[in-house]
């Protein structure tokens, strides 16, 4: 695999495109169609009027910045209290196979049943304030992810509109929350090109740019941060469950030379034993047979962690 050298981003082609922004307060059937169109064309869109209260977002952002402002030794110690790898705090290393980037992160379990472990991880504040902050954010963002997944199912014309949501609101869901903190540095690769393995990702950041998505090989599109929006991207499992109709978009993060950037991502995932396969309604005249074989999330996750960040793991499951 070719590992991008830190400066390679300066020579690549960056193109500017107006990525879709979908207003969730508009008429439901129209919103459902727009979400499907964006998921097919880009695998990426922004949502506005999402109804997540601003104080839930602000408190979460403050909790993240407070955490990263702690001395390195304290961050590592706090985050190892309860979490075992890959969960916890990391600096520059990504995964287990040699990927690196200009990023430090805190990776937390994002399922409702595990969230209480967070209180001591993110803060040593005994008042439990952080626990309430993180769990309020988690609940809100999971609800938004479910709303979007329901709209996707409606827009796709799948009769069982909870076909995707049952996975992520399951008590044993393997969802994650991730804070990424990018220090201000001259342009370099902070988090390399990859797709997200899960079903759906909801991301927001402070108003500093850095996220880019790739539509065709070699073309990168910067995603401008919008304080009112959540960015939504299709993960590998959703590409499989839509039989390739939606695309799991490749994306990366680059550093900003002036300001620190912090993003917070929610990765909506199924329980480990969930069987992932496209429902019969996803077989169409254009795609009459299953493009991917059925597998469990545990199998997919194992393949993910045995490969490099930029590898296209989904190809291992093609029929
Ligand atoms: C990318 C999306 C999520 O951040 C993540 C990442 C995970 C990790 O950092 O532990 C992975 C990466 C991500 C995909 C390939 C593997 C696993 C690092 C890596 C090299 C938490 C996830 O689920 O997959």
Nearest to 13 by CA among 248, 234, 212: 212
Ligand 1 atom showing the smallest separation from residue 105 Cα: 9
Say whether pLDDT at 49 is over 60.
yes
CATH 3.30.300.130 for the 13-317 domain, yes or no = no
Nearest to 197 by CA among 100, 318, 311: 311
Query: Which one is predicted more confidently, 87 or 203?
Result: 203
What is the pTM for the complete model shown?
A: 0.94
Ligand 1 centroid vs 231 CA: distance in angstroms?
18
Backbone angles phi, psi at 316, to 5 degrees: -70, -15
Question: Active-site residue 138, yes or no?
Answer: no
Per annotation, catalytic residue among 261, 293, 308, 313: 261
Flag the least confident range among 62-66, 120-124, 224-228: 120-124
The pLDDT, as a whole number, for residue 217 is 67
The per-residue pLDDT for range 275-310, each reduced to its tens digit, is: 999 999 999 999 999 999 999 999 999 999 999 999
Pocket lined around ligand 1, Cβ cut-off 6 Å: 86, 94-95, 97, 99, 107, 176, 178, 194, 196-197, 267, 304-305, 308-309
Q: Is 219 helix (H, G, I), strand (E, B) or coil?
A: strand
Ligand 1 centroid vs 299 CA: distance in angstroms?
15
Look at ligand 1, atom 15, and give the residue with the nearest C-alpha. 309
Sequence ranges of the domains in the chain? 13-317
Query: Which one is predicted more confidently, 49 or 123?
Result: 49
CA-based angle 290:296:301, to the nearest 5? 110
Look at ligand 1, atom 6, and give the residue with the nearest C-alpha. 95
Assigned token pair, 121 = 């991880």
**Cα(171)–Cα(228) distance, integer angstroms:** 29
Ligand 1 atom showing the smallest separation from residue 195 Cα: 1
DSSP per-residue letters across 236-275: HHHHHHTTTSS---EEEEE--SSS-EEEEEEEE---TTPE
Residue partners of 24: CB distance under 8 A and separation at least 6: 31, 47, 48, 49, 50, 51, 147
Flag the least confident range among 181-190, 194-203, 216-225, 235-244: 216-225
The per-residue pLDDT for range 247-274, each reduced to its tens digit, is: 999 999 999 999 999 999 999 999 999 9
Element (H, E) at 40: helix 28-41
Q: What is the DSSP letter of 85?
A: T
Ligand 1 centroid vs 286 CA: distance in angstroms?
32
pLDDT class of 6 with cuts at 50, 70, 90: very low
Strand partners, 181: 104, 262
Counting beta carbons within 10 angstroms of the beta carbon of residue 257, is it exposed (0 to 12), middle (13 to 18) or buried (19 or more)? exposed
Mean pLDDT of 50-66: 95
pLDDT class of 83 with cuts at 50, 70, 90: low
Ligand 1 centroid vs 309 CA: distance in angstroms?
7
Strand partners, 47: 22, 230
The pLDDT, as a whole number, for residue 155 is 97
């Amino acid at each position: 695999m070719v590992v991008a050298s830190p400066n390679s981003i300066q020579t690549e082609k960056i193109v500017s495109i107006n990525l879709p922004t979908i207003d969730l307060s508009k008429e439901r059937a129209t919103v459902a169609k727009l979400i499907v169109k964006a998921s097919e064309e880009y695998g990426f869109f922004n949502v506005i009027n999402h109804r997540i209260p601003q104080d839930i977002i602000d408190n979460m952002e403050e909790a993240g910045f407070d955490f990263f402002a702690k001395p390195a030794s304290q961050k590592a110690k706090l985050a190892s209290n309860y979490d075992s790898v890959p969960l916890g705090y990391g600096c520059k290393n990504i995964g287990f196979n040699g990927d690196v980037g200009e990023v430090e992160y805190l990776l937390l379990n994002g399922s409702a049943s595990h969230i209480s472990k967070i209180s001591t991880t993110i803060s040593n504040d005994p008042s439990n304030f952080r626990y309430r902050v993180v769990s309020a954010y988690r609940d809100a963002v999971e609800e938004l992810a479910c709303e979007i997944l329901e709209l996707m199912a409606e827009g796709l014309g799948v009769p069982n509109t909870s076909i995707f949501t049952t996975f992520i609101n399951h008590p044993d869901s393997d969802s994650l929350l991730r804070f990424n903190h990018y220090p201000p540095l001259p342009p370099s690769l902070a988090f390399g090109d990859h797709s997200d393995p899960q079903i759906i990702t909801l991301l927001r950041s402070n108003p500093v740019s850095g996220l880019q998505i790739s539509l065709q090989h070699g073309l990168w599109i910067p995603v401008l941060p919008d304080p009112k929006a959540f960015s939504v991207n299709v993960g590998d499992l959703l590409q499989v469950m839509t039989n390739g109709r939606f695309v799991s978009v490749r994306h990366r993060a680059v550093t900003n030379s002036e300001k620190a950037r912090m993003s917070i991502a929610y990765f909506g995932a199924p329980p480990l034993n969930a069987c992932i396969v496209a429902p019969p309604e996803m077989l169409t005249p254009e795609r009459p047979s299953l493009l991917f074989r059925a597998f469990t999330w545990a199998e997919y996750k194992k393949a993910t962690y045995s490969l490099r960040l930029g590898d296209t793991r989904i190809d291992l499951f093609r029929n």
